[in-house]
Structure 1
Amino acid sequence: MNALVLIHGFMGGGAQWEGYIDGLAGQFDLITTDLPGFGARSHLSPIDSIDGYADWVIDNLRKAGVVRYHLLGHSMGGMIAQEVALKDNDRIDRLVLYATGAIGVLPGRFETIEESKRRAQEEGSAATARRIAATWFVKREAAEGFERCATIAAQSKLPAINAGLDAMQSWSGKQNLSQIEKETLVLWGDRDRTYPWTQIQKLWTDIPNSSLAVVPDCAHAVHAEKPELFGRLIADFLAR
């Protein structure tokens, strides 16, 4: 059975996928990650660069004996996945870039990274977790998956929040998009408040062998807002 590695995003965790991608479990060996400083690894020192996170992911896949795999990255995890795709090209079959972009300063985001840093310092990590998690959903705090998402986000402490924001702010992958060789699916919810269409269009047009899936009436958490459709899109792409 082919492996599918899933990399979560900023203030996410491996638990964010549970119950939402069950349909993929019978088709792929699902491997979820918890990046240092986030989720189940919130006790570990965070990494402050996208490149550093990519090296960490590759090292852990080697230790786990994963030889070949499909790769999916969500949000900040999509930035990490772009770097992994360049560094570990020979082991990757297909790539899914989900609700992400190639410009780490996040132009068009619901607030600038500098604003997020300032507010996290002033409001604390718990309040920041709930505020950021709400932006993932069209219905914000009223969304069915909000509380679960906020609980996972709340595992991230201020050092991890700052490190993640620094990692994104200092990164750009736009100069490397033409070097991504693997067949790639760019997947996006059309009401995403973090990555506007310009970011998605850049991935779609600049990665040579890419396809685009736009899911209507979804924000940043398509997997939680429309899990069945999300699963079908992923399965169809990886089964071609």
Structure 2
Amino acid sequence: MPELPDVEAFRKVFESCASGRVVRRVEVRDTGVLHGMSARRLREALEGRRFGKPERHGKWLLARTGGGHTLMLHFGMTGSLVCERPDDAAEPHDRVLFTVSRDRQLRFRDQRKLQGLWLADDAGVARLLDGQGPDAMAVGREEFGAALAARRGALKTALTDQSVVAGLGNLLADEILWRAGLRPAARACDLTEADRRRLYTRMRATLRSAIGAGRVPPRDSWLTGHRDDPDPHCPRCGTPLRRSRLAGRTTVWCPRCQPGDS
């Protein structure tokens, strides 16, 4: 599933491909990714308008236009953005195509269609982002610590709750907790001040590295690089990794590097 680093990479694709350019044509190949609008409504709102610089909040991507509308994209589990030439053949999962010049076409590509595209005015943007916590790359340490201190559930569940902090998903949460030496099932409110400070620092460092890679990279030195091994071992200490289900998600951790009672 795309997480904050993936969406930041999509933002860069959008910016390099379409930012500052006038939308010449909108082709909707599958209305199943449109939310609260028809294909005709999307075309009327965007064609002839200029895309502004895209912004990201957590897993959401926002692109404002000169017409007072904002195109909002959420990538679900399999969504992406690619920049192609208009005369290149469309892929089977290319759902919406935005032609912005003779040689540039921005494509929303999504296999499973679990999320998609919205068109909103300022009030609509606020409604769609209502309940989202601060972006994980923008949140301050004190705000982050206070949000965790108020949560009585599992630490990993709090990190992946978009109302606490926006942008973290399953892979990032496991990676960050492993780097911070904290057990995923520990109660968020039981962390010490030192735990919260270390967790915040590791989160920022992990996000910066993953953004540089454009994804959560499966590097040998990362937990992510071993979680799918048939017999996974911790890349730091060599201890066999453990798997469990937490809030319905597969959770991977090292019992030696992440000590605790659970």
Indicate the structure with greater helix content: 1
Which has the larger strand fraction? Answer: 2
TM-score (norm 1): 0.25
Tell which has more relative contact order, 1 or 2 (C-alpha 8 A, sep 6+). Answer: 1
Give 1 or 2 for the bigger CA radius of gyration: 2
